[in-house]
Structure formats: structure tokens, C-alpha cells
Amino acid sequence: MNKKRIMGFSICLITILFTSCAKDNSLKLSDQNPDLVGTTVIPEVPVTKDYVVGAFYYNFTSWNTRVTKVPVALPYFSDNTGTGTAIWKGVPTNVMQQHILQANAGKLDFFIFSFRSLMDVNNNKSDTSLIKSFLLAPNANDMKFAISYELSTATLGGISTTTALETKQTQLKGFLKDFISIGRFFKYSNYMKVGDKYLVYIHNAHQLYANDNAALYKRMRDTVELTYGVKLYIVASQPNNSTSIGTPPARFISRFQNGVDAVWLDRPLRSLSNSLGWSIYWQYCPWANTYFKYCKDYYKNYNINYQPSLMPAYDPRINNATSTNPFFGRADTASFFKKMCNVAKLNVDSTRIVVIDSWNNWIEDSQLEPSLSDSTLYLSTLRKEFKVN
């Protein structure tokens, strides 16, 4: 049955790909127009009930000079200068306060903050300081938040397909301790929940190499419940792919089954390479719609929900001036973003949660955060596409 599903999915994607190649074979790099991306009609999905939208809030410790756009809040970064305990300051209060006001105007529901392992001492302190700078903002209670655990195989002792986490007792204890540490944030009334469960994302979850993933997740959940008396709603990242939108959902199901509650596609535009990416580029929206639908249906067989993800735009040339990979620019009408919002609405699960990457990843031009040039266009679009009013 699974083989038939995969074959059918492959045929569908190949059909889209070859149609795209035949139609746009003459298009070149210089011909790009962001208004043309995804020209195949994606239906406008009317909003009769609010969707729940979260955005990844990136942590950077310097403002990258390659970024030419200027945030309305002006260039900022997590301040890790100073000595002793004063070294970890997070984002300035006035900046975080303005971000919350902006997000409220667009009716964004929650920020998602990264949390690196306690075993990665300095990076953990940096992440924690950013979260604290959010919680100390005078209007913090006007915005919900969730944590994304940044799983690192190196931090977990070099786990791999041949080295399971259960064989690394020190790192295993550290892994469980990390989730106890994340649980400290559950006491805040604005921590995001799905029903009565506390929402936690796990980035790179496909690399949680274990002898028994289901048992490991149960142990982690039990540890948190024993410590805090709460249950978790765990969302695992599905890796993207350089030759398509994302990896086949069957590839990592053994690491997700009976362990996670939902899956989201990590940074969907980021991985498209020059070798195949331009072929996909012109039909990206229908391609994404087909892919999301297939993943949602596939994971449903394992009682796993699916959270569609999108990026407002993407430009790899900011970080790499010589990149020839596809970029998804910002049209004055935010047309590509509108199409992808509707793709997301077509594929939400019963929780109606949509994930956006990002709030403020300026180095990839994927930010929702207003700039002096874009003003509030993308936040206004967000509100219109996902909220009743």
C-alpha cells in the first residue's frame, strides 16, 4: 500500500515538473518576476474561522552587514557583550516590545524561540537570554510563545545510525534534562498549548537516532509529566530536500511513529538547488500543495498531524552573492505569499496551526517583521489570509 502511495505521488510530481519544463523552458535567471511564481491557480480559501499562526523568531548576535533592508525597529541583535552574568542580555526591551506590537497588528498568534541543549553551554545561555528578553517585555502577555528544541547530533555525543542515544548515558541524561529545563517556561500563562498540552517543536527530529524512538519519546514525556504534571504536544521537523520541496514522509516515519503528535516541513524554500530548483520554481505553489496534501494524508495513517509551513520570501544571494539557486522575491502585492497562505489553508489539520519561517530571518529575506521598504504589507496579508477580521 505504501509503495503504491509513493509511486502515485512520484508520478504526480513528475507530471508537474515536466509540464513546468515544457512551458517555461526559455525562461532564464534574468527573467524572474515574483508575480509569476506559482502561476497555476491556487483557489482562494475563505476564512470562516481563525487559523492559528506561529513564526520562528531567530536569534542572532550581530547584525549582518549584507542585509540592505532596514527593520522598522532598526537593526538589532541579541547582545552578548559584557562580562560575567551581564554578558547575556537578549534583544533590547524596546525592540522586543515593538516586535510584539507589530505581531499583534498582524494577528500572529505566537513566536517560536530556539532552545539549544544545556550541554551546549554558551549557545544555551544565548537562547535563554533571548526568551527572557521576550518575557520581560512590558507587553509580553499580549503574545504567546513556544519553544523549539534544537537537536544536535554532535551535542548528543555523535549519535548516528550506528550509535544510538541509549548507548550514550551521559548525553541521554542531558537530553532528558533539556526538556525538564524547557518545562520551566510552562509556568507562564502565555505559553502556547494545543488543547491542554504544551506545544514543543523539535528541530532536526529526524536525527534522533535511537534503538527505540517510541520508548525514548515516552520516557521524555513521562519525565516532564512527573516533574511538572503536564503533557506535551510534540511537533517534529521534516527535513527539506535539494531536489524537491521535502523528503518523502516515509523516510523517517520510524523515528516519528508513536513518538510525536505532528510534523512540519523545515524551511521549505531554503534547499532548492540550481540543478532542479528552477524547474520547480515556476510551479512551486501547486507542487507544494500536492506535497503537503500527500504528507498530511500519509502521516494521518500513523495518527500524526501535519502543520503546513511557508516562507514569505527567500533570497540565498544575501548570504552568498554568487548563488545561482532559486530565489523568491518580494512583489509589491505579496502575491507569492498570498498563494502560499492559501496552500497552507488547504492543508491544515484539525488544530488549524500554520508555521511561518520566519519572524526575523533577515539574512534569507524570509521575515514577516516590517521593514522601511515593505512596511506592514506582509503582516497585513497575514491577517487578511488567516483571520476572520
Residue 159 lies in a domain: yes
pLDDT band at 273 (very low <50, low <70, confident <90, very high): low
Number of domains in the chain: 1
Residue 240 lies in a domain: no
Residue 11 is predicted with a pLDDT of 40
For the chain, give the percent of residues with pLDDT over 90. 72
Residue 8 is predicted with a pLDDT of 45
Note whether 255 and 206 are within 8 A (CB).
yes
365-388: average pLDDT: 96
Write the pLDDT tens digit of every residue in 70-96: 999 999 988 776 555 556 788 999 999
Chain centroid, CA 291 distance in Å:
16
Residue 312 is predicted with a pLDDT of 95
Residue 127 lies in a domain: yes
Q: Is the pLDDT of residue 274 over 80?
A: no
Note whether 43 and 341 are within 8 A (CB).
no
Range of the domain at 369: 52-235+302-386
Residue 262 lies in a domain: no
Residue 19 lies in a domain: no
Which domain CATH number covers 342? Answer: 3.20.20.80
Give the residue with greater pLDDT, 6 vs 267: 267
Q: Is 125 helix (H, G, I), strand (E, B) or coil?
A: helix
17-40: average pLDDT: 39
Q: Is the pLDDT of residue 119 over 80?
A: yes
Residue 38 lies in a domain: no
Q: What angle do CA 240, 288, 248 make, to 5 degrees?
A: 45
Question: What are the respective helix, strand and coil percentages of the chain, to the nearest 5?
Answer: 40, 15, 40
pTM above 0.85, yes or no: yes
**How would you classify residue 250: left for phi > 0, otherwise alpha for psi between -120 and 50, otherwise beta?**
alpha
Residue holding cell 534503538? 211
Residue 17 lies in a domain: no
Write the pLDDT tens digit of every residue in 26-35: 223 333 444 4
Residue 277 lies in a domain: no
